[in-house]
Structure 1
Amino acid sequence: MLDKITVEVIRHAAIFTAEEMGIVLRNTAFSPNIRDRLDYSCAVLAPSGELVAQAEHIPVHLGSMPVGVRNMVEALERNGVSLGPGDVAVSNDPYITGTHLNDVMVLKPVYVDGVLVAYVANKAHHVDVGGLIPGGIGAGVRSLREEGLVIPPVKIVENGRLREDIVRLIESNVRTPRYLRGDLMAQLAALNTGEKRVQELARRYGVETLLEAWEEILSYTERYTRTILRSLAKERTGVYTAEDYVELESGELAKIRVRLEISPERIVADFTGTARQVEEPLNAVYGVTVAATTYAIKAVIDPDMPMNSGFYRVVEIRAPRGTLVNPVPPAPVGGGNVETSQRIADVVLRALAEAFPGRVPAASCGTMSNLLLGGKGWAFYETIGCGSGGRPCCDGVDGVHTNMTNTLNTPIEVAEAEYPLLFRAYELRPDSGGPGRNRGGLGIVRAVTVLEDDVTVTVYAERHQLRPWGLEGGGAGAPFRSYVIRAGGEKVELPPKATLRLGRGDTVYVETPGGGGYGDPCERPRELVERDIEDGKVSPEAARHGYCYEG
């Protein structure tokens, strides 16, 4: 039996190892998407592939990491390939790594005295991996191969030597090879840092102690989670269901249904009844479904608890194959990672709101509001913030990334220096938060003008038809909206999933949704309504209509 102090020291050292890996990746990356938006995630895993430590990076990356690591190791072993000291494997196949093609995953085993003591891994969103559309995500894509280059699990570093043939193969299939190589080298540098720190731990405490500590870290989180469940489930044991929808390119809706069975020992999330997979990129691979479901459950039952695979031992996720939440290849999945992931989180949170009233906020915007632009030799991608849902305690947050995304905005100065773009607007969207005793957070207005001809723009978003829902009598948030103002002044309204060509001087506007409101809007204190009016967040007309305000 290890003493608790040693286990805690090792646990926090592992977490900091993941954080330091992220710092190295950020500081050495080439592309603004990774260097400035921080669209990457790092983790330390036990030899079993179970997650023992993660940095505070991207929920959809981290929740899928154990699935991806196990799948990669198994895929390599099926091909007679084993990972030895100094080896690194790479893949972006979403049906293996667990997200989408843009997320390139690298995995390195950590050996000490010939013993495998851990894996270190990271995922980073590369702005372009080939495919029909710059950035890979877009309307009109009908198969995985149309989204970009599929890299099966393969060694990119072998016995400490970089395989230039693999790097050149990947470079030659993307629109931005300089970014690709630079970002990939940054990922490898992060792995080297993680390997070094884990080896230092093993040499300080001993290999046997480190391996025992991994298991105790996981077992503790498992015990802790069951204790929390027993406390919360005394009066809430039972079955809770919820439904929500994603919006197809045709305008039709595809249902996501969850059945949560909550007991003092475990939670079972069953997605039976969810729509079949579709021939467009809204399918979410199983790793995404795991990430979104576990994120939502943890956020409600105890947001401060340690996060590792010990938590996954308590949560069972059933996702029927061939559905939106567990598709069969070669179904496209680029939008499933960024959009359907948000809806999975929403529907699980909706069910949890029935199970644990007073612990769940109203719906956040429910979309990452993806904007992709590309021309000759360049590609730009960003997700745009929005409003979070009103909370039982207080208002939602204005202009923030919510739920399955945790990136920053692209600094305008960086984007304008790197790309032929000019930003015209970046501001909060008035009247977009759902009315409630606690108001939903405001969405964002972001507008960008292209400075060259023949630029492809893609807007890929949700919550255009079905607005973010309120709770306890709160109103819905404003829907997503986007449009183009042509250089000559013509205005073109866009559907939520659109790909089109822009010319010099054309401007694309994106207006992201606000969060839903929480509680009866007529109960909102008059002074808060007046403050919102004074700050320009709520117009007097909206205040009179939505908040029973007569001032």
Structure 2
Amino acid sequence: MTGWQFWVDRAGTFTDIVARRPDGRLLTHKLLSDNPARYADAAVAGVRQLLGSREPVETVRMGTTAATNALLERKGERTLLVVTRGFGDALRIACTVRVDRAARRAAIDFTSTSARLATNFNAPRAVVDAAVLYVFRTLVADDIPLNEGCLRPLDIVVPPGSLLAPEPPAAVVAGNVETSQAISGALYAALGVQAEGSGTMNNVTFGNERHQYYETVASGSGAGPGFPGADAVQTHMTNSRLTDPEVLEWRLPVRLEEFAVRRGSGGAVRRRGGDGAVRRIRFLEPMTVSTLSQHRRVPPYGMAGGAPGALGANRVERTDGTVTDLGGSGSADVGPGDVLVIETPGGGGYGRPSPDPHQAGEEIDDLRAF
């Protein structure tokens, strides 16, 4: 060891310092974390008091419990950091919501969100505004028009050049259908309103030289205080309707073998998240199938102790018994008899288990309770 080593623990009341001199001897020091009359910074002052002379310093390491205390005492700003490995690039959507009750305004700040991506998951600013408008409109119980006037009391901050404010020639096709869902989920989490729904539109396309088809597949919605999630529904930024099975099979060389609720995929605990769906389509001609979806690696979050929803899955089950995993976003050629299987995510659950599972007003699924 060639110099002094310092370890500093900065807490709300006291700052503790452990030092090791070059000869190996250990020293300790304690001083008030806040004492402006004597020093500007407790850690710097403590190190200087122990050091005394201008001997070399090898290491200074500092930890703090101040941030932990603020979190435990709920004194900090509501902040959500969403990181998902489902995108090819590392993605971060950071969202902080600050409400000024006196001014009757709110600031929605996406500062620290990732920079523009090389993939097509960038979302134009219009998509961000639409997601914010949607989320805050759902918080209003009154029957009011859905228009730009709803955004007047909201100050939206989006960092230029980020994946939420990309500049040409950034690709944006997935921004409208997928990143919009992630933005909605980030907002609901920052507001503490409800667990995440599926967080994806589960986009599916297939076709060949003669036929082309596109659909989005329903999934589970998130639970919240006082309500469970819904099963197999379109959530948040998607509301498209599926083609009727009879029409699908009449117009395209496919057979819809199954479209069912994916039982048990919703996050459990006090309020269960909605279950996702299972959809199986058998092809009668050679085609190419592609998927664009999320939450195949990172599950939709639960809230207030609720469990996350189940992961989704996309795969092709082939006539020779092999299986091709499409991941979240993938493409594969299929032949006659091959089956595309889409398992959509469940919604996140809400709340820790109740001490009394049969409280008054609690929904009971088990008929044996009566």
1:266 matched to 2:99? The reply is: no
Of 318, 321, 324, 1:486 maps to 318
Deviations 1:266-305 (A, max 9, x none): 2121111000111111111111011111211221244743
Does structure 1 conserve the Cα–Cα contact (< 8 Å) formed by 2:314 and 2:325?
Answer: yes
**In structure 2, C-alpha distance between the alignment counterparts of 1:374 and 1:237, rounded to whole Å:** 54
Amino acid at match of 1:332: A
Q: CA deviation at 1:262?
A: 1.1
Which residue of 1 is the match for residue 93 of structure 2? 256
**In structure 1, C-alpha distance between the alignment counterparts of 2:168 and 2:355, rounded to whole Å:** 50
Of 293, 296, 300, 1:464 maps to 296
Deviations 1:174-225 (A, max 9, x none): xxxxxxxxxxxxxxxxxxxxxxxxxxxxxxxxxxxxxxxxxxxxxxxxxxxx
Q: CA deviation at 1:424?
A: 1.2
1:243 matched to 2:81? The reply is: yes
Which residue of 1 is the match for residue 31 of structure 2? none
Q: How does 1:95-114 map to 2 (within 5 A)?
A: none
Which residue of 1 is the match for residue 364 of structure 2? 528
Count of residues in Structure 1 that have an aligned counterpart in Structure 2: 290
Of 520-529 and 364-373, deviating more is: 520-529
**In structure 2, C-alpha distance between the alignment counterparts of 1:506 and 1:522, rounded to whole Å:** 46
Amino acid at match of 2:155: E
1:432 matched to 2:262? The reply is: no
Which residue of 1 is the match for residue 116 of structure 2? 277
Instruction: Report the TM-score, using the length of structure 2 for normalisation.
Output: 0.74
**In structure 2, C-alpha distance between the alignment counterparts of 1:503 and 1:529, rounded to whole Å:** 43
**In structure 1, C-alpha distance between the alignment counterparts of 2:194 and 2:353, rounded to whole Å:** 15
Q: CA deviation at 1:522?
A: 5.4
Of 328, 335, 349, 2:174 maps to 335
Q: CA deviation at 1:446?
A: 0.4
Deviations 1:51-79 (A, max 9, x none): xxxxxxxxxxxxxxxxxxxxxxxxxxxxx
Amino acid at match of 2:223: G
Of 390, 395, 419, 2:228 maps to 395
Which residue of 2 is the match for residue 420 of structure 1? 253
Does structure 1 conserve the Cα–Cα contact (< 8 Å) formed by 2:314 and 2:343?
Answer: yes
Which residue of 2 is the match for residue 318 of structure 1? 157
Instruction: Report the TM-score, using the length of structure 1 for normalisation.
Output: 0.50
Q: Which runs of 4+ in 1 moved over 2 A?
A: 236-240, 245-250, 300-306, 521-531
Q: CA deviation at 1:256?
A: 0.2
Amino acid at match of 1:282: F
**In structure 2, C-alpha distance between the alignment counterparts of 1:392 and 1:519, rounded to whole Å:** 7
Amino acid at match of 2:110: F
Amino acid at match of 1:337: N
Compared CA separation, residues 459 and 521, structure 1 to 2 (3 A): farther
Does structure 2 conserve the Cα–Cα contact (< 8 Å) formed by 1:237 and 1:262?
Answer: no
Compared CA separation, residues 296 and 256, structure 1 to 2 (3 A): same
Compared CA separation, residues 363 and 244, structure 1 to 2 (3 A): same
Does structure 1 conserve the Cα–Cα contact (< 8 Å) formed by 2:86 and 2:294?
Answer: no
**In structure 2, C-alpha distance between the alignment counterparts of 1:303 and 1:486, rounded to whole Å:** 52
CA RMSD of aligned residues (A): 2.3
Does structure 1 conserve the Cα–Cα contact (< 8 Å) formed by 2:86 and 2:328?
Answer: no
Q: How does 1:186-205 map to 2 (within 5 A)?
A: none
Which residue of 1 is the match for residue 203 of structure 2? 370
Does structure 2 conserve the Cα–Cα contact (< 8 Å) formed by 1:300 and 1:352?
Answer: no
**In structure 2, C-alpha distance between the alignment counterparts of 1:362 and 1:281, rounded to whole Å:** 26
Does structure 1 conserve the Cα–Cα contact (< 8 Å) formed by 2:111 and 2:159?
Answer: yes
Q: CA deviation at 1:308?
A: 1.5
Amino acid at match of 1:253: A
Matched residue of 1:269: which SS? Answer: strand
Give me the identity figure in percent. 36
Q: CA deviation at 1:482?
A: 1.3
**In structure 2, C-alpha distance between the alignment counterparts of 1:478 and 1:319, rounded to whole Å:** 31
**Which structure shows the bigger proportion of residues in strand conformation?**
2
Q: How does 1:433-452 map to 2 (within 5 A)?
A: 433-452=266-285
Q: CA deviation at 1:238?
A: 8.7
Q: CA deviation at 1:525?
A: 3.6
Q: CA deviation at 1:508?
A: 0.7
Of 219, 231, 235, 1:386 maps to 219
Amino acid at match of 1:395: P
- Segments of structure 2 that go 5 or more residues without pairing to the other structure are 1-73
